[in-house]
A and B are shown apart, each in its own frame.
Chain A
């Protein structure tokens, strides 16, 4: 196995003498050429992590390794790590050219070399005709291009992007998203995105690391993370709408294993099929809204009422209330029942996920092949 480009080892950042723990012992290995997204709501520690990688903040304990070497204590600017800020932080008093040249000028690079590097990056970003414009005259996506270009000129081995798309309008976001993917392919950079926007993470990253309260809860291939969340927070965070989560207990009734919540009882499988009886602990039952099927009253597993129907293009998001518990169900818009309709729900056993009530981690209760 090749050496990871960037490694975070038991990284901890505390503030105010340990009263506030922003990052609580995270471990992450990022491969060279990979694009990874740190996804989490604000205050989860993702920006602090970013600041530590780039060198603006020092970790309380733990290690940051780039190409196998620890960079803790190496000043920002000497780590060969680039950071593009959410607000771009372009130097508005300078022209685009001076912005792009800044990183090389402060290193006292020869003028000819700076000019060549600036032209190269300007071409890569399609900004040749804007080089002499003042940065003050630029619009959102142009500012972002300058911010990215300014960093690329210094040839960073790792590029960090803080919420790269959140300040852009929808049209510009799409264009920029494509452009970032193209850049990533052309230059083969290792990119780390920090974002609270799962659409952004899902569309840009090879892998996603979901963070909450200073922990990385799950690191997974983008294509798989929605399908198989390993933590109850990830389950409730990813997807639109996210996975339905109902807490309850497992119980044996006659010869069947039943999930009992305050709202409904759901028979799961025959006890005989189980290798071991999981006991009476609390579990969260998770099921994706797309996997729940509607049927006529009396024909499904649990009964409820459609309390809200939100059409969303070709599909419709229903809120089905089952004795006080609300479940989201996604159905094709043409088969959308009216609000107030009584419906039955079918929850296919292979679509169910269980999360331990204590550890919040996914546990497999049902036997394979169900």
Chain B
């Protein structure tokens, strides 16, 4: 909290100062040099997005000629999705439910692990690497591994049988609640390490003195953690949630490998539904509209999540 030096720096790099340097003569070459990058971003980002946006307002299907021959239907796809398509609605609700449960569990386990790793114990660095491993495995591979684990005669059922007898065995992919549970277990196993890693680095950067001050003021370790440490972690926690919620809204690979959305559509996530629309039913335009609804929904969600800490994050961490 070095007030005078930091205020000096912020004065030098204030918006006015930056604007002034931006208007400096001779930056034409600089701007020219950004053109290749801008061209690439227009080609791979903006253009496909615009095409998809246009597509979402048509009734195009690849089996029926060119996109530009398809008839323009306005907001028909959108109104169909939002008003009549209960399968879409359920996919959204299901994804939301799975996300909330997964993120809560990942946060709880990640925080618990991070707190444990703030202490010294034997084998810490080995365990640290081990705990981070799941995160580095491809989602498809994780999905395949757990698909094998959850087979009716697979290791998980064998363990359950060994512990609790044959009646404890579960046909994981034949009943909706168990299929959802399997998806959640897989997802939590896969991504708890990310929460763990982010929260651990957050805990490590929590300044020491407020914690010591709280101890001196008579706070118990529990009070120190909940009242002082956790509030200081808030920006980090929110960033972790933003990153993870962006990922989990797009949940696809693991579910595809585990259940293909079944049984019925009981594990069908938004991504899986859009995939089926596009590549099973060839309703690409309709799928594009669904994707745009999800995009707008995620944008709103991220902004809402970030709102309480936006100033803090943009303010250089004060």
- Closest B residue to A81 by beta carbon equals B216
- Closest A residue to B217 by beta carbon equals A103
Q: Is B112 an interface residue when CB atoms closer than 8 A count as contact?
A: no
- Closest A residue to B231 by beta carbon equals A93
Are B209 and A85 in touch, CB under 8 angstroms? yes
Q: How far is the CB of B21 from chain A (nearest CB, A)?
A: 29
- Across the interface, B217 reaches (CB within 8 A) one of A56, A88, A140, A150, namely A150
Are A103 and B218 in touch, CB under 8 angstroms? yes
Are B232 and A136 in touch, CB under 8 angstroms? no
Are A83 and B220 in touch, CB under 8 angstroms? no
Given contacts A89-B209, A136-B318, A94 and B217 within 8 Å (CB-CB): no
Are B216 and A106 in touch, CB under 8 angstroms? no
Are B213 and A83 in touch, CB under 8 angstroms? yes
- Closest B residue to A93 by beta carbon equals B231
Q: Mark B281-318, 1 if CB is under 8 A from A, else 0.
A: 00000000000000000000000000000001000001
With a cutoff of 8 Å between Cβ atoms, the chain A residues found around residue B228 in the complex are 91
Q: Mark A149-171, 1 if CB is under 8 A from B, else 0.
A: 01100100000000000010100
Give CA–CA (A169, B4) in the complex, Å: 8
- Closest B residue to A106 by beta carbon equals B219
Are A106 and B318 in touch, CB under 8 angstroms? no
Given contacts A89-B209, A91-B228, A94-B231, A55 and B217 within 8 Å (CB-CB): no
Given contacts A106-B227, A136-B318, A90 and B219 within 8 Å (CB-CB): no
Q: Is B3 an interface residue when CB atoms closer than 8 A count as contact?
A: yes
Q: Mark A94-114, 1 if CB is under 8 A from B, else 0.
A: 100000001100110000000
With a cutoff of 8 Å between Cβ atoms, the chain A residues found around residue B312 in the complex are 136
Q: How far is the CB of B217 from chain A (nearest CB, A)?
A: 4
Are A89 and B217 in touch, CB under 8 angstroms? no
What is the size category of the interface that chain B forms with chain A?
Answer: 20 to 34
Give CA–CA (A139, B220) in the complex, Å: 29
Are A140 and B3 in touch, CB under 8 angstroms? yes
With a cutoff of 8 Å between Cβ atoms, the chain A residues found around residue B218 in the complex are 77-78, 103, 106-107, 154
Give CA–CA (A143, B213) in the complex, Å: 14
Q: Which of A33-89 contact B (CB under 8 A)?
A: 54-56, 76-78, 81-83, 85, 87-89
Q: Which of B202-257 contact A (CB under 8 A)?
A: 207, 209-210, 212-220, 223, 227-228, 231-232, 234
- Across the interface, A93 reaches (CB within 8 A) one of B216, B223, B232, namely B232
Are A77 and B219 in touch, CB under 8 angstroms? yes
With a cutoff of 8 Å between Cβ atoms, the chain B residues found around residue A56 in the complex are 212, 215-216
- Closest B residue to A103 by beta carbon equals B217
Which secondary structure characterizes the binding site on chain B? helix
With a cutoff of 8 Å between Cβ atoms, the chain B residues found around residue A150 in the complex are 213, 217
Are A92 and B232 in touch, CB under 8 angstroms? yes
- Closest A residue to B210 by beta carbon equals A89
With a cutoff of 8 Å between Cβ atoms, the chain B residues found around residue A90 in the complex are 210
With a cutoff of 8 Å between Cβ atoms, the chain A residues found around residue B318 in the complex are 92, 136
Are B216 and A82 in touch, CB under 8 angstroms? yes
Give CA–CA (A103, B220) in the complex, Å: 11
With a cutoff of 8 Å between Cβ atoms, the chain B residues found around residue A76 in the complex are 212, 215-216
Given contacts A91-B210, A167-B3, A169-B4, A102 and B219 within 8 Å (CB-CB): yes
Q: Is B20 an interface residue when CB atoms closer than 8 A count as contact?
A: no
Are B209 and A87 in touch, CB under 8 angstroms? yes
Q: How far is the CB of B215 from chain A (nearest CB, A)?
A: 5
With a cutoff of 8 Å between Cβ atoms, the chain B residues found around residue A169 in the complex are 3-4
- Across the interface, A55 reaches (CB within 8 A) one of B213, B214, B216, namely B216
Given contacts A91-B210, A92-B318, A106 and B220 within 8 Å (CB-CB): yes
- Across the interface, B1 reaches (CB within 8 A) one of A83, A88, A151, A154, namely A88
With a cutoff of 8 Å between Cβ atoms, the chain B residues found around residue A136 in the complex are 312, 318
- Closest B residue to A143 by beta carbon equals B1
With a cutoff of 8 Å between Cβ atoms, the chain B residues found around residue A143 in the complex are 1
Q: How far is the CB of B219 from chain A (nearest CB, A)?
A: 4
With a cutoff of 8 Å between Cβ atoms, the chain A residues found around residue B2 in the complex are 167
| Residues of chain A at the chain B interface (Cβ within 8 Å) | 54-56, 76-78, 81-83, 85, 87-94, 102-103, 106-107, 136, 139-140, 143, 147, 150-151, 154, 167, 169
A-B contact pairs, 23 of them (CB 8 A): A55-B216, A56-B212, A56-B215, A76-B215, A77-B215, A77-B216, A77-B217, A77-B218, A82-B216, A83-B213, A88-B1, A89-B210, A89-B213, A91-B227, A94-B231, A102-B214, A102-B217, A106-B214, A106-B220, A107-B218, A140-B3, A154-B218, A167-B3
